[in-house]
A = this chain, B = another copy of it.
Amino acid sequence: MSISFHGLSAFPITPMQQDKPDEARFAALITRLVEAKVDSIGALGSTGSYAFLTHTEREKLTRLAVSHAGSIPVLVSIGAIHLRDTLLLAEDAQKAGAKALLLPPMSYFPLRDEEVFTLYETVNRHVSVPLIVYDTPGTTQFHFSDALMQHICELSHVRSIKLPSGSPTAEEAAARMARLLPTLPESITPGISGDPTAAQALIHGARIWYSEWGGLFPRLARHLTDAALAKNEAEITRIEAIFAPFWAMSARYNGSLRVIASAAEIMNLAGPGALPRPLQGISQDDYGQLAALIHTHQPA
């Protein structure tokens, strides 16, 4: 278990082109993350559209990410509706060189606690690399109780948790993080997603930021991570002010992916039709506003 979880884990999108992954642009996004010196790469997370792709595509993209990531560890999601698929995806991902596996309780029917525990317990028995518990109620409709999270964190390969920072509200999410952290085994690295509250979470005990916008603006996210780990409030305030309008637009679209894909297109890092259908990009008005923001701040 060579990976150490810390700092900035950047989650790139998987640009699509005519309903297929655009491998060249995906590889270029990985290279950009390497150049920005992120600590790890979360390929094929929610932001990377894992849920839309076939096993074959996911394996191929994992190999591509690993081959472009150099010494930076690559994590991938092995989420699937059917547990038999999750087990196959776990095997594929490990063979393709993934250093850790992100496991959400993805479902069609919202799952029950005992089903979620058995899901993690089963996968735990089948893998040899670390597992990250991916708590993402906005996509899975599943809400982990503290007791269930603690129970899962005792499984031998579980090494990190990725908590949402705005669910149901930022305040309640922060209170949950504060409540949960002291009860978890030492071996668990607490991680935060939800970019707008990540810096404060890092100050208050989270040790890794699983970042969506960090997949597109890795240098800016690198600076914010470093400022947060150094508890440099002035620098945090300065960088968050640059991120703020991007985060605000993401919130209006109920999630970042649609806005990030449009930003990637504006920055010539994705072609048109980069989102997997039926997802659509942002409105023309917002696209204009986003282009102006990118022109002004030149985030990278």
Contact = CB atoms under 8 A, between A and B. Distances in A.
Interface of A: 19, 46, 51-53, 81-84, 105-112, 114-116, 118-119, 122, 138-139, 141, 253-255, 257, 276-280
B84 A277 contact: yes
A278 B52 contact: no
B280 A114 contact: yes
Contacts of A114: 280
A231 B122 CA distance: 51
A35 to B, nearest CB: 29
Interface core residue of A81, A109, A141, A280 (most chain B CB under 10 Å): A109
Nearest to A109: B255
Given A108-B46, A110-B138, A277 B19 contact: no
B277 A82 contact: yes
Given A84-B277, A105-B278, A119-B277, 12 more contacts: A19-B84, A46-B108, A83-B277, A106-B108, A109-B138, A109-B255, A112-B254, A114-B280, A115-B278, A115-B279, A118-B280, A141-B141
Contacts of A108: 46, 51-52, 106, 139
Contacts of A52: 81-82, 108
29 contacts: A19-B84, A46-B108, A46-B109, A51-B81, A51-B108, A52-B108, A82-B277, A83-B276, A83-B277, A83-B278, A84-B276, A84-B277, A105-B278, A106-B108, A107-B278, A109-B139, A109-B254, A109-B257, A109-B279, A110-B138, A111-B278, A112-B253, A112-B254, A114-B280, A115-B278, A116-B278, A122-B277, A122-B278, A141-B141
A115 B81 contact: no
A205 to B, nearest CB: 29
A119 B276 CA distance: 12
Contacts of A51: 81, 108
A53 B84 CA distance: 10
A276 B122 CA distance: 14
Contacts of A122: 277-278
Contacts of A138: 109-110
A114 B258 CA distance: 13
Nearest to A19: B84
A282 to B, nearest CB: 10
B141 A278 contact: no
Nearest to A82: B52
A105 to B, nearest CB: 8
